[in-house]
């Protein structure tokens, strides 16, 4: 019998951390070695979260011996915390690190300071992290030791744009991105705006200027398109528990709709999780899965190409994509542990 890969979830009681634990427990090649939580240290995971059938106990932190026994570290930590954790363990830990947080997505310390209003503690480590968008960077992810999991919004946006950008079928100079996310994108933190009475039967935009994911989107578009540009990105909060729906608007004169469809099918024909569909996709169609569904419509009157993309922000936008990255890095089947059934019908 093949030895199981030992995984540790740092920040295992947050929404992303618990989603990741559920996936690890269902992964035939993985063993949950450790899960950390300052809040619930010493308590059984299944006691804190009865929906997770796990008798393992949370630990507050990992010592040197535990780190050396771990093959993969999943960092499910808030902004600024992943780099602090890495600064402590970098000289000790020798396995794979997948940062599901945001500290290693941007390639330069100056960009990190611009978008996250803090100095990066490990600027020399930034270029060692591979941007873990599998459908775009699969070859770089193979064998990588440091992987930065993309943000949930950028995942939905970049997967929708990649085929058309890479094939130069569109010009993104005047790209407008309108994204909506479920409340789980904000994590477990208590905030008045996220309370039921304020969110139920409500819908609104937030951070219309300077949202942190804008820099990440612009950075990765430049890599694909070969040119730096600015995009207009506005996120919104939906009164649903999970899911992201992104609508993208691209000016395009005399666009061949058939060519657009053919391009998507060509780029994603071998993809296990990304599909171009002939209907406007819905959040309920991807909830609980690692899938991304994409569709498009060309408005001949306004000369605007409209692109629609849906993902589950906790799975393809976070925990599921992290495991997908790990599978690729270690040479496992890409969908191992990720053959998930949706939670909506």
pLDDT in tens, 198-210: 778 888 899 889 8
At residue 186, the pLDDT reads 67
Is the pLDDT confidence value at 197 over 70?
A: no
At residue 2, the pLDDT reads 72
For 229, the 3-state DSSP assignment is: coil
Helix (H), strand (E) at residue 294: strand 292-299
At residue 105, the pLDDT reads 98
Q: How many CB atoms lie within 10 A of CB 210?
A: 11
**Average predicted confidence (pLDDT) for the chain:** 95
Is the pLDDT confidence value at 270 over 70?
A: yes
Please choose, from the candidates 39, 36, 75, the residue with its C-alpha nearest in 3D space to the C-alpha of residue 58.
36
pLDDT band at 195 (very low <50, low <70, confident <90, very high): confident
At residue 1, the pLDDT reads 55
Tokens 């993985």 locate to 30
pLDDT band at 178 (very low <50, low <70, confident <90, very high): very high
Yes or no: say if 112 and 101 are a contact pair by the CB < 8 Å rule: no
Yes or no: say if 282 and 309 are a contact pair by the CB < 8 Å rule: no
Sequence-ordered alpha helix ranges (H) in 64-151: 64-68, 81-89, 109-116, 134-141
Report which of residues 194 and 150 the model is more confident about: 150
pLDDT in tens, 208-245: 898 999 999 999 999 999 999 999 999 999 999 999 99
The model's pTM is: 0.95
At residue 231, the pLDDT reads 95
CA–CA separation, 326 and 321 (whole Å) = 9
Tell me the C-alpha to C-alpha distance, in Å, between residue 70 and each of 63, 66, 180, 279.
11, 6, 37, 44
pLDDT in tens, 73-115: 999 999 999 999 999 999 999 999 999 999 999 999 999 999 9
Q: Which residues have a catalytic role annotated? A: 152
């Amino acid at each position: 019998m093949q030895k199981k890969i030992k995984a540790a979830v740092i920040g295992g009681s947050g929404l992303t951390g618990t989603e990741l634990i559920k996936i690890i427990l269902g992964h035939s090649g993985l063993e949950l070695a450790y899960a950390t939580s300052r809040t619930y240290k010493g308590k059984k995971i299944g006691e804190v979260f009865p929906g997770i059938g796990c008798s393992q106990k949370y630990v507050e932190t990992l010592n040197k011996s535990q780190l050396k026994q771990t093959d993969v570290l999943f960092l499910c930590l808030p902004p600024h915390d992943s780099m602090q954790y890495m600064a402590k363990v970098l000289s000790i830990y020798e396995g794979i690190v997948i940062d599901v947080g945001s500290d290693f997505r941007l390639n330069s310390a100056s960009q990190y300071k611009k978008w996250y209003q803090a100095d990066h503690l490990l600027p020399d480590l930034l270029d060692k992290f591979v941007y873990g968008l599998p459908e775009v960077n699969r070859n770089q992810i193979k064998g990588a030791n440091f992987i930065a999991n993309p943000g949930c919004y950028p995942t939905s946006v970049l997967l929708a744009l990649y085929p058309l950008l890479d094939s130069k079928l569109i010009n993104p100079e005047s790209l407008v991105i309108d994204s909506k996310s479920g409340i789980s994108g904000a994590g477990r933190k208590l905030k008045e705006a996220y309370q039921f009475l304020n969110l139920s039967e409500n819908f609104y935009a937030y951070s219309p200027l300077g949202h942190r994911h804008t820099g990440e989107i612009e950075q990765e578009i430049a890599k694909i398109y070969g040119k730096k540009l600015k995009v207009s990105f506005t996120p919104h909060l939906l009164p649903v528990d999970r899911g992201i729906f992104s609508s993208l608007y691209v000016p395009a004169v005399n666009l061949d709709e058939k060519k657009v469809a053919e391009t998507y099918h060509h780029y994603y024909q071998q993809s296990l999780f990304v599909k171009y569909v002939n209907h406007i996709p819905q959040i309920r169609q991807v909830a609980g899965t690692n899938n991304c569904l994409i569709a498009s419509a060309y408005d001949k009157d306004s000369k605007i190409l409209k692109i629609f993309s849906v993902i589950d922000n906790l799975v393809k936008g976070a925990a599921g994509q992290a495991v997908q990255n790990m599978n690729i890095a270690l040479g496992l089947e890409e969908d191992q542990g990720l053959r998930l059934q949706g939670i909506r019908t």
